[in-house]
């Protein structure tokens, strides 16, 4: 039973435009949602997180929005750059020590 779902396996965006990556969840018990970025043959690196008490968190070009009523969060990247091409995972700890990941979305930035 997948608690964190990323329904879009891939996304292509023109350089300079906004990239929007989506994530849905089924478990209401969480403290944090996190977004990770992963290049091939490397470990994921942390990008940005949002706690359950907020609906928006911004860090430079990256903004995460949380809609608790819809059980949905999204990551906005603006403007998109070629170096943003990677696989993006959303994850949540659901109130315990374990970090549960989605299946990832491969973002390709087109020059």
Partner 1 sequence: SQTIHQWPATLVQPVGSPLSLECTVEGTSNPNLYWYRQAAGRGLQLLFYSVGIGQISSEVPQNLSASRPQDRQFILSSKKLLLSDSGFYLCAWSGLRGWTEAFFGQGTRLTVV
Positions that interact with partner 1 (CB under 8 A): 6, 9, 31-32, 34, 41-46, 49, 51, 89, 91, 93, 96-104
Chain-centroid distance of CA 6 in Å reads 9
Minimum distance from residue 102 beta carbon to partner 1 (Å): 6
41 or 111: whose CB is closer to partner 1?
Answer: 41
Count of CB atoms situated within 10 Å of the CB of 59:
10
CB of 8 to partner 1, least distance (A): 13
Rg, the chain, Cα only: 13
Q: How far is the CB of 15 from partner 1 (least distance, A)?
A: 27
| Cα atoms in the Cβ-side hemisphere of radius 13 Å centred on 61 | 12
Nearer CB in complex with partner 1: 79/99: 99
Beta bridge mates, 94: none
Least distance CB 52 / partner 1 (angstroms): 12
Q: In terms of CB distance, is 43 or 111 closer to partner 1?
A: 43
Handedness of CA 101, 51, 109, 5 (dihedral sign): positive
């Amino acid at each position: 039973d997948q608690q964190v779902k990323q329904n879009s396996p891939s996304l292509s965006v023109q350089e300079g435009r906004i990239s929007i990556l989506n994530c849905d969840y089924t478990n209401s018990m969480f403290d944090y949602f996190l977004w990770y970025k992963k290049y091939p043959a490397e470990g994921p690196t942390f990008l940005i997180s949002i706690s359950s008490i907020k609906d928006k968190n911004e860090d430079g070009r990256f903004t995460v929005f949380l809609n608790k009523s819809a059980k949905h969060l999204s990551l906005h990247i603006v403007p998109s750059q070629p170096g943003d091409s990677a696989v993006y995972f959303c994850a949540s700890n659901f109130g315990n020590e374990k970090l549960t990941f989605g299946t990832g979305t491969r973002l390709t930035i087109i020059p």
